[in-house]
Amino acid sequence: MADKQISLPAKLINGGVAGLIGVTCVFPIDLAKTRLQNQQNGSRLYTSMSDCLIKTIRSEGYFGMYRGAAVNLTLVTPEKAIKLAANDFFRFHLSKDGQKLTLLREMLAGCGAGTCQVIVTTPMEMLKIQLQDAGRIAAQRKLMPQAVTPEGPVELKSPTAMQLTRQLLKEKGIAGLYKGLGATLLRDVPFSIIYFPLFANLNNLGKRGVDGPAPFYVSFISGCMAGSTAAIAVNPVDVIKTRLQSLTRGSQEDTYSGVTDCIRKILRKEGPAAFLKGAYCRALVIAPLFGIAQVVYFLGVGELILSYLPKRNN
């Protein structure tokens, strides 16, 4: 991502630090995105991102906006580490004698990175979505009687990530944590195919000379622009993935058997515009995440941390 040569351990630390800072800053917006994407016609509780956040604070308190954040904070480091390391690995093996990669090869490297990261991304998103959406279901059952199950009001307890994990493993095995894997691949592979080449080319436009590095602000803006562009481009698949991975629904909300079934039902009952639900939220989440990543790389946080670690003598 950056122009300077960085060791693999430093890259992993940079990715982890950037992910931790980014998740902490933008998680409430990500929660609003999940809830907006999951609500269906006839059971709309929120009208916009701001309406969702205000109602969440009123009903669940300030920390209600951070439901599921612990899962992200725990798994974002290996996720970013795999993604960044895989992209560098594929770029290295696709380059010829250190020459600049063609656009096609850059896209192939991004494809490889996106494919590798779903190992961590799928279970992380699976758990996060349940925790994020629990408040919406509880509020819906309390405020919208028509959405209550036929058996009557149900007290919805908010599970922890560990409880969800144990339940899924017990009932469905490891496959339970990887529900929606196909949709996650359909989202993350195109995202990486768009993001990595777009960032590299935007960043190159601001380089100081032929071999000089791009200024910090150019890398920051390039990361934000490439991230938000890729996020909006794959938002329809993100809506599908969110719907497929949600385990708890209101009685009037559809369930889906797969990607094709989800697309068909959304088109028939909610129209094409439903695939853009939460798009601006997702752009607001992704742009700062990748902008922050550039700040971390520019400051050399990974190298700084490694310099303070004791070095073993050979």
The model's confidence at residue 1, banded by pLDDT at 50, 70 and 90, is very low
- Count how many domains the chain has: 1
Q: Per residue in 3-19, pLDDT tens?
A: 456 777 777 787 778 87
Tell whether 3 is covered by a domain: no
Other Cβ atoms closer than 10 A to 233:
16
Beta carbons of 250 and 137 less than 8 angstroms apart: yes
- Contact call for residues 114 and 189 (beta carbons, < 8 A): yes
- pLDDT value at 32 more than 70: yes
Instruction: Tell me if 314 is assigned to some domain.
Output: no
Mean per-residue pLDDT, 52-56 = 92
CATH code where residue 119 lies: 1.50.40.10
CA–CA separation, 101 and 115 (whole Å): 20
More confident residue, 233 or 220: 233
How many percent of the chain have pLDDT more than 70? 89
Q: How confident is the model at residue 274 (pLDDT cuts 50, 70, 90)?
A: very high
Residue 262 belongs to domain spanning: 8-308
- pTM, two decimals, is 0.84
| DSSP states of the chain | --SS---HHHHHHHHHHHHHHHHHHHHHHHHHHHHHHH--TT----SSHHHHHHHHHHHH-GGGGGTTHHHHHHHHHHHHHHHHHHHHHHHHHHSSTTPPPPHHHHHHHHHHHHHHHHHHHHHHHHHHHHHHHHHHHHHHHHH-GGGS-TT---------HHHHHHHHHHHHTHHHHTTTHHHHHHHHHHHHHHHHHHHHHHHHHT-STTTSPPPHHHHHHHHHHHHHHHHHHTHHHHHHHHHHH-----TTS---SSHHHHHHHHHHHT-GGGGGTTHHHHHHHHHHHHHHHHHHHHHTHHHHHHHHSPPPP-
Considering only residues 142 and 134, tell me which one the structure prediction assigns the higher pLDDT.
134
Our measurement of the distance from residue 142's CA atom to the centroid of its chain's CA atoms, rounded to an integer in Å, reads 29
Can you tell me the distance from the alpha carbon of 171 to that of 29, in angstroms, rounded to the nearest whole number? 32
Check: CB of residue 154 under 8 Å from CB of residue 148: yes
Does the structure show a pLDDT above 50 at 206? yes
Residue of 158, 177, 159, 168 lying closest to 75 (CA atoms): 177
Q: Is residue 50 part of a domain?
A: yes
Amino acid of residue 214: A
Whole-angstrom Cα distance, residue 262 to residue 183?
Answer: 11
| Residue 121 lies inside a defined structural domain of this protein | yes
Instruction: Look at residue 249 and tell me if it is in a domain.
Output: yes
Residue 72 within any structural domain of the chain: yes
Helices 8-38 and 49-60, axial angle in degrees (round to 10): 90
> For residue 154, what pLDDT is reported?
40
Residue 186 lies in a domain: yes
Q: Write out pLDDT tens, residues 139-148.
A: 777 766 554 4
Rounded to the nearest integer, the mean pLDDT of the chain is: 84
What lies within 8 Å, CB to CB, of 197 at 6+ separation is 103, 106, 107, 110
| Angle CA 249–238–147, to nearest 5 | 20
- pLDDT of 276 > 90? The answer is yes
Quote the pLDDT of residue 143.
66
Are the CB atoms for 238 and 282 separated by under 8 Å? yes
pLDDT (average), residues 35-45: 83
Per-residue pLDDT for 283 more than 60? yes
Least confident stretch, 19-33, 81-95, 204-218: 204-218
Give the pLDDT mean for 118-141. Answer: 88
Asked if residue 202 is part of any domain, the answer here is: yes
Tens of pLDDT, residues 230-268: 999 999 999 999 999 998 876 678 889 899 999 999 999
Q: What is the pLDDT of residues 156-184, one digit of tens each?
A: 456 788 999 999 999 999 999 999 999 99
Q: From CA 191, how far away is CA 226, in angstroms rounded?
A: 10
Instruction: Give the Cα separation of 127 and 161 in Å (integer).
Output: 6
Instruction: Kindly state the percentage of the chain with pLDDT values over 90.
Output: 41
What was the pLDDT predicted at 280? Answer: 93
